[in-house]
A and B are shown apart, each in its own frame.
Chain A
Amino acid sequence: MMMANTIRPEPSTKTGERLLDVKGLTIEIETRNGPATIVDGIDLHVGKGETLGIVGESGCGKSLTMLSMMRLLPNKIRVTKGEANFAGRDLQTMSNSELRKVRGGDVGFIFQDPMTSLNPVMRIGQQLAEPLIYHRGMSKAQARKRAGELLRLVGIPGAEERLDAYPHELSGGMRQRVMIAIGLACNPQLLIADEPTTALDVTIQAQIVDLVKDLRDKLGMSVVWITHDLALIAGLVDRINVLYAGTVVEDAPVDALFANPSHPYTQGLLASIPKLSDERSIRLSSIGGTPPEPGRRPKGCPFAPRCPLVESICHDSVPSLEGLSQNGSHRVACFVAQRKLEAA
């Protein structure tokens, strides 16, 4: 029922055609001791047809960055600086009604927890139909037909009968597929998947990754896949941004990142992936400590308190993201890594 061998067009990163372009986005939270910075002037971009992986420990601000772009932040958390352009228009300043057209219509979301992200008292067929009726102006009957097709697309057995089911009647893996179907309902140009497999067991995780990969190739959309598991997405993404404490510390094509991880934090993340070839190696956490709490960010490099290579300059100034490779596709925010390159 689906094509087997689509040749995926080359993503347009190199041509510089950016579908999503986030510049200097800063997010603050209201605390008892005044506002605290959670995300600090982050820059991100996703090309047309490109798949970007965003990696980082939990609490790095991955989810808030995505939510803030679409102005979905919870109370007391807000964007104080920066812009988020989608197809050339700033999402931060457009009107609410324009924004609603982008949400769900042009940008699909898949959330982390399939158990709580579906409305428990609404049949899944109706939850799928809602955006189709709203964004695509379909009739109820058309939307229901399309909802059935979408469930089949994401590999739910007995799709048509499932339309009348309530979320609690489905397993976690099935619910996550329903969420993917909802995210894809209006053929979005960009799909944002926020740790969509964290709640699932390992075999189903791999199935979901494969599923999104196939759907992406078929539908030709851009994808942002957020995870804290580098190994899971190695075969899916074109480029990876490593996030630490609300800033991008390394930005590289996926192969370059695995071949030549340059930021000490990236190196730590890679070292903590168990090597399948080595039976005895268990998940070794080579980075001690935890990311800084909001409001307790160090003055200099945010990674300094945990960094094995820390020098005195790291405590005083913040390293910026600088190109390592000639064409600037591999960038890193670390004084030591940048100096090594100059020395070489």
Chain B
Amino acid sequence: MSVVPMTDTAVEIEPPVSLWRDAWHRLRRNKLAVFGLAVVVILAFTAVFGPYLTPYDFLSQDLNSRNLAPSLSHLFGTDDLGRDVFSRVVYGTRTAFLVAIVVTFIAVVIGVTLGALAGFFGGWLDRIVMWLTDMTMSIPNLLLVVVINASLKSPITSWMESRYLATLNPLYRETIWVDFLLVFGSMALISWPPYARLVRAQVLSIRSRPYITAAQALGLTNRIILMRYVVPNALGPLIVAVSAGLGTAMVLESAFSFLGVGVNPPTPSWGNMISDGLRVWQHYPHLLAAPAAVLGLASVAFSFLGDGLNDALNPRGAK
């Protein structure tokens, strides 16, 4: 008698593919996700190399050619100081990525740590973390940021000025770092709660999945189960959230600039270009249109990419 029955109704013989290669195949079939990915790659390239390739310096003013409409020599026209808008948008891409990456990184580190601890240990730790999360989310974002900036910015700046006058150390002259610090810090402070919630929910739901019980029934240690069973399964949704979060951070920076608490001129950011452009848009619409269009494109691209990754990274949705 044949001990091992060799038949099974559904024997699909396909070459084994890795989860990531598989996800890549699925991502490539999703047109919106491919569009999002392409835009993100181009923008990232621009952020890194763009400033070296632009036709004009983003700071160089030409008072003879102010507020020019778009033309071949100035693709996006010039602004009220005669600066090339295209070059400024390109440099603004670097600012946007810098803000988005740093802010998202800080927010993810805080959110993942707090969320994982809360989900894994539960109890009072969970209650404290959830209370912090709810608190942070219940305060209106912009209010928090305005308060932080209004109360911290001028004291720090004037302290640095006085240090500069006292020591003449050029380190203290560059107040732009204060801008970045405050913008990054306050944005991260309002951006971490969604990551904490997501990771906590992920850990809670994964902890009760049958494959975790199965792993325990194999006698594996908690450490192995956490590292190889819980964490990798929580990763997909986190990657998705990070992708969408990068776009959100860029939009948030513009909102701050509009309120006068974003990255300050003369460093170009899409946000401060948009808020400058808004003042004169009836006369020089290109000053608003160019940065706004790029910001919109970036935000849409990140969200398409996030959605695409969501579908692609879920192997159970595989057909």
Residues on B with C-beta less than 8 A from A2 are 3-4
> Are A204 and B9 touching (Cβ within 8 A)?
yes
B11 interface residue (CB < 8 Å to A)? yes
**Beyond A2-B3, A118-B211, A168-B318, is A102–B218 a contact (Cβ under 8 Å)?**
no
The size of the chain A interface, using a CB distance under 8 A, is 56
Contact A171 B12 (CB under 8 A): yes
A102 in contact with B219 (CB, 8 Å): yes
B217-232 near A? 1/0 per residue, CB < 8 Å = 1111100100011001
Of B13-21, B127-135, B280-288, the one with at least 4 CB within 8 A of chain A: B13-21
A111 at the interface (CB under 8 A from B): yes
CB contacts (< 8 Å) of B16 on chain A: these are 123, 161-162, 164-166, 169
**B232 near A157 (CB under 8 angstroms)?**
no
Give the residues in chain A near B214, CB-CB below 8 Å.
109, 111, 117-118, 179, 182
Q: Mark A175-204, 1 if CB is under 8 A from B, else 0.
A: 000010010000000000000000001011
Q: Given A155-B5, A171-B12, check contact A105 B219 (CB 8 Å).
A: yes
A15 lies within 8 A of chain B by Cβ: no
Chain B nearest CB from A324 CB (Å) reads 35
Question: CA A70 – CA B216 in complex, angstroms?
Answer: 9
Q: Are B8 and A67 in contact (CB under 8 A)?
A: no
A157-B12 in contact (CB<8A): no
Q: Give chain A residues whose Cβ lies under 8 Å from the Cβ of B209.
A: 116
Residue contact B10 to A131, C-beta cutoff 8 Å? no
Q: Assess whether B71 is interfacial by the CB under 8 Å rule.
A: no
Q: Which residue of chain B has its CB nearest to the CB of A213?
A: B3
Q: Which residue of B lies closest to A1 (CB)?
A: B4
Among A79-121, those with CB < 8 Å from B are: 99-105, 109, 111, 113, 116-121
Q: How far is the CB of A55 from chain B (nearest CB, A)?
A: 22
Nearest residue, chain B, Cβ from A75: B208
Top 8 closest A-B pairs, CB basis? Answer: A171-B10, A104-B219, A104-B218, A103-B219, A155-B4, A100-B219, A2-B3, A109-B217
A residues apposed to B, CB below 8 Å: 1-4, 67, 70, 72, 74, 99-105, 109, 111, 113, 116-123, 130-131, 134-135, 153-155, 157-158, 161-162, 164-166, 168-169, 171-174, 179, 182, 201, 203-204, 207, 210-211, 214, 218
